[in-house]
Structure 1
Amino acid sequence: MNVKESLELADFYDSQIDAHHDPGEIRTLRERRNADCSQTRRLPPEILTKIFSILGTFNYEGQYTHLKWMAVTHVCRTWRDNALNEPTLWTDFTDIHPKWVREAFTRSKAAPLRLRYGYDECSSDALDFVVDALVKSPERIRELQVVDYDGSFIDRLTQPTPFLEFLAVELGAPMTFPPSFLGGVAPRLRSVRCSGPLPLEAGWLTNVRSLEYNGSLDSRAHLLTKLTSLKLERGATHGMSIATLLSALESSPSLECLLIVAASDMDTVSRPHRSTPLHLHHLRDITFDLGSKSRMAKIFRYLRVDDIEKLCTSWSYNFQNVTMLEHVCHFFNTCYHGDDLRYVVYDMSRGLELYTRSVDEAGPSLLFRLYAWADPSKIVKLLPRCVPRILLTRLRPDMKALALSECDTIEELRISSGHLHHHFCINGTSLPYPSLRQLHFGERVVGLDSEQLYQLVTWLAPRQPRVEVFVREGRIPAKAVEALRETSLLRLIYSEL
């Protein structure tokens, strides 16, 4: 049925509805109109199910967000029947109102479930009957999170879980996994998040590839040998030395992604007794949250990778230790083997991030975030192959000049927030950012009054070709918009920044 035929049929049903007075007949005609005239009625049930499942992944506001997609069940009977009768749409019990638990469980039929069990908005009492069912039918567990609970549920899981893919156990008190946990069999378990000690060897850990750990780390643990992703929280790095950490990493030769959060009592004094650096051939993505232990940056003296794609470090706000930064930058210079670093970002917070690919560019690039540093040019000099192209900064009252203003390779200047007062004055004969082609103002930038507008126009006037100015609509006064248009010195473009 084409659109014209659909409209003609809709007109026919409308005339029939107008000719009837009985509410029951009118309701029946309206249902038939919705079913026969809808362009979506030709969609097969599998497509509708896919669409509804995508809606369930959206970030809605408020509580019990993953069931907000249920509004589609009020559109028409076809949609409602499809949604109510599709088990896979009712398998998420990680964030669900207690009154919906039993109904959702019934609709899920035999489909594998995602379950969060413990103290949260959905009380454990409401989920007890689901837990009882899963203990009897462990093949229905796909993702399991046990949070802030006494662990008795863990002791009951003694049968194999053939479809379990993700397991998170975050209890208030330390616990020991029973020898019979999961019957020792979980062939699809790939990701584990745990706050307590894991067994050194266990059959159910055989195929784990991703581990987020906040317990005492033992480098002899069998699961380390196959990990491709490892995240160590403060509990895991408690009292740890660089030598111990390197020993654990040496047990994980397949690592591709590494994230470490340094505990406040990490040992940064003792030195590892290594004649050569630890070479992790597959490691590409490294994140170190050094906190107050910036001396942990020394670990980069003892690490080597074949080629780095992301390096991110962060430290306390008042950190100013160039020596520690030299370790980080030397590691990046040694391990990055590309020849076209093009992207630099500066931000006034804390940390250093180096990426060899930007979000919106296909080629190799460098994202550089330097936080809480008075002179970022010192850090740029530590990366001799860095060619800054894009600069992100926040304007502060105590800033005497824009960051890296003497850099002649910056093509985009992105100002995320702050006050424009006096930041666009030209002092001396040199032109700041001589290669500038785009100027972006974020929604939290304020202060473009007549004086700042004059400074901005004067600052942009000598540049050829014209600079594009990106500004979010409504963030500057109307008279400023008109003044910028009248100058004919730039193109004003409205965009969502």
Structure 2
Amino acid sequence: MNMKQPHELAHLYDAQIDAHFAQIRILRERRNADCSQTRRLPQEIFSRIFSILRTSCYRSRYPHLEWKAVTHVCRTWRNSALNEPTLWTDFIKVHPNWVREIFARSKAAPLRLCYRDYGYPPDVLNFIVEALVRSPERIKELRVFEYGEHSFISRLVKPAPFLESLVVELGTPVDLPLDFLAGVAPRLRSIKCTGNLPLEASWLASLRSLDYSGVLHIKASWLSKLTSLRLERGATCSMSIDTLLSALENTPLLQCLHLVASSGTDDAPCHRSTPVHLRHLDDITFDLGCKPSIAKLFMHLRVDNIEKLRTSWPYQFGDISMIEHVCHFFNTCYRGDRLQYVAFDSQLGLEMHRCIDLTGPTVHTPSLVFQSSWSDPSIIVNLLPQCVPRVLSTSLYPEVKSLVLTGCDTIEELRISSGYPHCYHFESNDASSRPYPSLQRLRIGRAVDGLDREEASQLISWLSRRNSKVEVVIRERGISREAAESLRAVALLRFEAAAALL
């Protein structure tokens, strides 16, 4: 009998072991396929689930690399993902090594693309350029960031029938050509552009939203269909109030207006006899920058009903006359009864709009919010007689002398979002009065590190003088155990996770 050598026996046994492992792998695949509860789901359901997962992964730099982990679960899931082209159409943030592969997996589906002439290797960049120039009908959303001498935009001269959104940010502003996309982009609704749009162009016929930094042609016919307009500093440079109002006259359908003033904005007085009336405009944001006097624009603007108004101006700007223009406009144009949020910030400005409390039920009453070092916030309150607040939210700083506001006895909730929660801010000089008699809840927000011994003592002393117990909401571990026990004697204490607090 021939005896095999030990190394031969080892190879023999290894081969048998490998064969058994291969058989086990096959049996596991069959078990997963035959016994899985999802095996009966149609392809459409898988595609829908994977699509939701793909759009919800935003934790990393390349989110598409997160959701694709589902393709490693089983063969059925992998085949379902690989056979659905719409799952592989997002090129907004794509690792260079994945560009060619995702192009192949997307097949003929419309793409969301981002072209940058930096960050990609030359071969990958050339691959993207050639693919788009050859087949622009595959573009659904396009973002172009160019800082070199050769313009990729100028090479897009074929129709793009499925293009819906376009972003063009150029190192040196250029005029977008009249024959861009051969003048055919029937679904193009949104443009963000640092270049200059032409006065007339057929590819702008369906434009509805414009975020613009170029030279604005106030007579352009495509202005008449805009519902959203944002003018950046490049567009407002050397623009006067009268020119801006003339442009707005040509936007009768405008619903949302965002204006960013530049140092070159001409704030000379406007001599219009009648204001510009925009019937549909209800959302306004004005960044007054270093030209707060541009707020005079509000004197010549009229809307039927304002839903949201936000203005911002430089830090420590104290010209109350400019703020009066904003408040007068709001008081004149606000027709509803659903105002819920009014925010004043000496750094951010003034904001008014409807607000939903994400930590609880929708707030249906107006709320007044101060987030500033403004020493006398009652000035702003007096300029807004239509606002009867129920909620006061504030960032407390030493510069705020007092938050005992005249005529604000209706406040039911105080929210301290950050700063120093010293209760002397809410103390009245009148020893016999109890500020905020309607107070029901005090929320110490997530940005507050917690209450130290002195702050907890001040809070207990302030609450102990009230006729009824107030609910105090504070983040977990935001107060010592001893102070919490003392606080429970004068208030209803409730702890919440930091993420749940405003």
Q: TM over 0.5: same fold? A: yes
Match of 1:256 in 2: 255
CA distance in 1, matches of 2:357, 2:200: 40
CA distance in 1, matches of 2:451, 2:178: 67
Shift of 1:91: 0.8
Shift of 1:299: 0.2
Count of equivalent residues: 477
Match of 2:485 in 1: 482
Match of 2:381 in 1: 380
> Deviation string for 1:378-418 (max 9, x for gaps)?
11111111101111111223433346387211111111112
Shift of 1:71: 1.6
Greater mean deviation of Cα atoms: 168-177 or 356-365: 356-365
> Deviation string for 1:446-480 (max 9, x for gaps)?
35233322221221224344221111112222333
Match of 2:200 in 1: 201
CA distance in 2, matches of 1:144, 1:456: 55
Match of 1:278 in 2: 276
CA distance in 2, matches of 1:376, 1:488: 29
Residues 128, 261 of structure 1: CA spacing in aligned structure 2 closer, same or farther, 3 A cutoff?
same
Matches within 5 A, 1:423-462: 423=424, 426=427, 428-446=431-449, 448-462=451-465
Match of 1:92 in 2: 90
Match of 1:131 in 2: 129
Of all paired residues, the percent bearing the same amino acid is 58
CA distance in 2, matches of 1:406, 1:365: 14
Shift of 1:26: 1.5
Matches within 5 A, 1:62-461: 62-123=60-121, 125-149=123-147, 150=149, 152-268=151-267, 270-339=268-337, 341-347=339-345, 349-358=347-356, 361=362, 363=364, 365=366, 371-402=372-403, 404=405, 407-421=408-422, 423=424, 426=427, 428-446=431-449, 448-461=451-464
Amino acid in the other structure paired with 1:172: G
Match of 1:4 in 2: none
Amino acid in the other structure paired with 1:466: K
Divergent runs of 4+, >6 A: none
Equivalent residues of 1:353, 1:370 under 8 A apart: no
> Deviation string for 1:425-447 (max 9, x for gaps)?
85522222211111111122135
Shift of 1:346: 5.0
Amino acid in the other structure paired with 2:395: R
Equivalent residues of 1:344, 1:390 under 8 A apart: no
Equivalent residues of 2:373, 2:399 under 8 A apart: no
CA distance in 2, matches of 1:76, 1:104: 20
Greater mean deviation of Cα atoms: 448-457 or 177-186: 448-457
CA distance in 2, matches of 1:359, 1:490: 21
Greater mean deviation of Cα atoms: 130-139 or 252-261: 130-139
Greater mean deviation of Cα atoms: 441-450 or 309-318: 441-450
Equivalent residues of 1:253, 1:281 under 8 A apart: yes
The TM-score, its normalising length taken from structure 2, stands at 0.89
> Deviation string for 1:263-313 (max 9, x for gaps)?
011111x22231110000110100000011110100000000011100100
Amino acid in the other structure paired with 1:177: L
* Secondary structure, aligned partner of 2:447: strand
CA RMSD of aligned residues (A): 2.4
Shift of 1:371: 4.1
Shift of 1:423: 3.7
Residues 124, 464 of structure 1: CA spacing in aligned structure 2 closer, same or farther, 3 A cutoff?
farther
Greater mean deviation of Cα atoms: 130-139 or 475-484: 475-484
